[in-house]
Amino acid sequence: MMPPYAFVTSEFGLDEAGLHRLRSRFPFETIPYAAISQVEVTRGRSVQNWWLLLAFGLACLGVALWVALGYYRFFTDPTAGGRIEVRAVAAPIIPAFVGGAAIWQALQVEDILVVRYGRRRLVLPLTKLQGGTLADLPAYLAQHVPAVWHRAKADAQ
């Protein structure tokens, strides 16, 4: 049976013992409050290396556009001859969808919980927070952690 958490999402749960990282609703790592040096509730990107994901998405879109431009030239050039298969015409669709999804995920800004403990920095999304409201979370954690709280607008992380 899972312990009751004061606050819980699909990725973490908070109780009196500390922060529990969850996988399939079961804890796989517990970080005691004494080990946490700073906690911040803010808006930001939940993806750690968002710029790398953005570059990957732009590269996928670039490949899709390059292939689509080649097909456009093939079909509009009166001197071009030969045959082309239907599945080859659909080839730019997959990298275009992958690139669009990567760009969308890289630029997604949401409420996050940034936890610093030891030399590690853990970013946890606060979507679908259960057990209380987002406004109650800083007050709950302030009882357990010497935290620096500031709710800034979305900044580059």
Task: State the 10-residue block means of pLDDT for the chain, 157 residues long.
Answer: 78 90 90 89 89 97 94 82 78 94 95 90 89 83 75 47
Q: Residues 84-104: pLDDT tens digits? A: 788 887 889 999 999 999 999
Q: Is residue 153 part of a domain?
A: no
**CA atoms of 78 and 142, how far apart (whole Å):** 72
* pLDDT (0 to 100) of residue 155: 44
Q: Is residue 29 part of a domain?
A: yes
Q: Residues 37-57: pLDDT tens digits? A: 889 888 889 888 999 999 999
Given a contact cutoff of 8 angstroms between Cβ atoms, the answer to whether 8 and 20 are in contact is: no
Q: Is residue 156 part of a domain?
A: no
* pLDDT (0 to 100) of residue 58: 98
CA 86 and chain centroid, separation:
35
Q: Is residue 80 part of a domain?
A: yes
Q: Is residue 69 part of a domain?
A: yes
Domain that holds residue 21: 7-46+115-142
Q: Is residue 154 part of a domain?
A: no
